[in-house]
Amino acid sequence: MEGHEPSAKQKRAAVISALVLAAVAVGIYLTVIAKFVVYG
């Protein structure tokens, strides 16, 4: 028997958290590059 399953609410919250964090990471990466492309 596997460990207890997270509830649907937990799964939904986890996916939303992950998407937000991934967007933050991609945003920082693009901002660093865009800053130097635009302003040198």
Residues that bind another protein (CB under 8 A): 1-6, 10, 13-14, 17-18, 21-22, 24-26, 28-29, 32-33, 36, 40
Q: What's the min distance (Å) between Cβ of 19 and another protein? A: 9
Q: In whole angstroms, how far apart are CA 14 and each of 4, 27, 32, 36?
A: 16, 20, 27, 34
Q: What's the min distance (Å) between Cβ of 16 and another protein? A: 9
Q: What's the min distance (Å) between Cβ of 31 and another protein? A: 8
Measure the CA–CA gap between 32 and 30, rounded to whole angstroms: 5
Amino acid 12 reads R
